[in-house]
């Protein structure tokens, strides 16, 4: 008999969602939600989602097709005619991989599902530091969204967004994942490639730098492992 | 040369969205967004959307498939195994036709599109009075969502939700539509049928009562026209 309350976890299949799931699993029974928003590496991310769901023994799983984001366009992640940029970790500009208002779309879906299945929390592995250019990754965005949930759901519904790693640096996320025995080797972060991670996109660069700073070796395969410091 | 600023209008194909478009068109150049969220009468509503887009000479049109709402379930509008209830206009309970958090899903999509095409307003024909049971139709929900937009979009993006008919009664919406020459005969409201409106679902009942109170006859065909007072 599992008497833990239920929480929805947004699981892209990446490192951050893997560690977020491990944190959520300490207190909650988990339901995993994966979004296919038409990203170039969706097939590989979906495999990571399934591998993680198996590793966490998750029964409640939902895949949602949000490829309308590709139709709306405006991002190199979903528009095959735009090139995914190589990493520039020192840039303060909003990267072209930004899908406008993507997290609001994702959260809205997650809340709808959470209300139907009776979950009381919604975990998302957003990180403020390494995505300072994405407006919908900031704490004030999630705070505002919690207010939308409070006003836009049934009176007896009580769902709150939790962002347990939002203030952590990548190396701290990796260390916390290790401490919780999170299956980091099953996660996938690369925006560009599906067999071996490219090593040069923003997401690979942040991940590799995080492992280096944590003094650990990333267990997934790379085409190239530049020395990000 | 059209120098009006651009506004996205959410056009279900119903009466309220028709009148909302007429109001928005006085000040803005229009972009029409239609959502297929798996409702039983989608085909007929989509036809109404196209007819209205033609009538308003709208070039920017976007259809988005949000049938994941049907997958998530929980509503008689999208779940073929649940019966759409007959109208009970005096009930204060949340009707089973409620799709959890539907408007948040719709608004998130609309904001993503508005940011890509450079629209500054987002019109939605939500009505507080006749949907008091739907939490995501209330003014406080839209106010909270405007805050989410402000925090979750690029710094130079300025998009605001407008709900011009939210405080109107149905008969006032119809009267305003008439005053603006809105093509009400092209709109479709029935939740249940596609050839002739059923006349008995909540949406038909509200529409018929509105026309009656406005002292006008609804130009669309009905299977039955009960006398709602």
DSSP code per residue over A1-59? ---SPEEEEE--SSHHHHHHHHHHHTTSEEEEEEEE---TTHHHHHHHHHHHHHHTT--
Q: Chain B partners of A119 at a C-beta cutoff of 8 Å?
A: none
Using CA atoms, how far apart are residues A215 and A226, in angstroms rounded to an integer? 15
pTM to 2 decimals? 0.87
Using CA atoms, how far apart are residues A142 and B98, in angstroms rounded to an integer? 25
Using CA atoms, how far apart are residues B105 and B68, in angstroms rounded to an integer? 10
pLDDT the model gives residue B135: 86
Model confidence at A3, pLDDT cuts 50, 70, 90, reads confident
Give the pLDDT confidence of A4-28 residue by residue, as tens digits. 999 999 999 999 999 999 999 999 9
The mean pLDDT of A84-111, rounded to a whole number, is 72
Model confidence at A60, pLDDT cuts 50, 70, 90, reads very high
Nearest residue of A to residue B144 by CA position? A148
Q: Chain A partners of B148 at a C-beta cutoff of 8 Å?
A: 104, 141, 144-145, 147-148
pLDDT more than 90, % of chain A: 68
Model confidence at B87, pLDDT cuts 50, 70, 90, reads low
The mean pLDDT of A171-190, rounded to a whole number, is 97
Give the pLDDT confidence of A126-169 residue by residue, as tens digits. 988 755 567 888 999 999 999 999 999 988 899 999 999 999 99
Instruction: Provide the 8-state DSSP code for B24.
Output: H
For residues A172-201, b (16+ Cβ closer than 10 Å) or e, as one string? Answer: bbbbbbeeeebbbebbbbbbbbeeebbbbb
B71–A64 CB contact, under 8 Å: yes
ipTM score over 0.90, yes or no = no
Nearest to A115 among B101, B103, B108 (CB): B101
Q: Chain B partners of A155 at a C-beta cutoff of 8 Å?
A: 135
pLDDT the model gives residue B66: 86
Using CA atoms, how far apart are residues A203 and A197, in angstroms rounded to an integer? 10
Nearest residue of B to residue A148 by CA position? B144
């Amino acid at each position: 008999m599992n008497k833990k309350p239920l929480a929805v976890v947004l699981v892209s299949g990446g490192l951050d969602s893997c560690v977020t799931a491990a944190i959520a699993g300490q207190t909650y029974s988990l339901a995993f939600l994966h979004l296919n928003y038409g990203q170039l590496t969706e097939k590989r991310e979906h495999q990571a989602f399934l591998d993680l769901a198996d590793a966490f023994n998750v029964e409640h799983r939902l895949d949602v097709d949000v490829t309308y984001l590709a139709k709306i366009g405006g991002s190199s992640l979903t528009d095959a005619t735009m090139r995914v940029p190589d990493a520039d970790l020192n840039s303060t500009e909003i990267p072209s991989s930004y899908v406008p208002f993507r997290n609001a779309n994702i959260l809205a879906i997650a809340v709808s599902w959470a209300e139907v299945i009776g979950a009381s929390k919604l975990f998302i592995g957003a990180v403020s530091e390494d995505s300072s250019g994405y407006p919908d990754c900031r704490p004030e965005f999630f705070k505002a969204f919690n207010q939308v949930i409070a006003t836009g759901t049934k009176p007896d519904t009580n769902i709150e967004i939790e962002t347990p790693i939002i203030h952590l640096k990548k190396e701290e996320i990796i260390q916390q994942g290790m401490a919780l025995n999170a299956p980091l080797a099953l996660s996938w972060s690369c925006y560009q490639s599906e067999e071996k991670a490219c090593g040069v996109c923003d997401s690979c660069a942040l991940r590799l730098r995080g492992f280096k700073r944590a003094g650990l070796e990333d267990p997934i395969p790379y085409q190239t492992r530049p020395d990000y410091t």
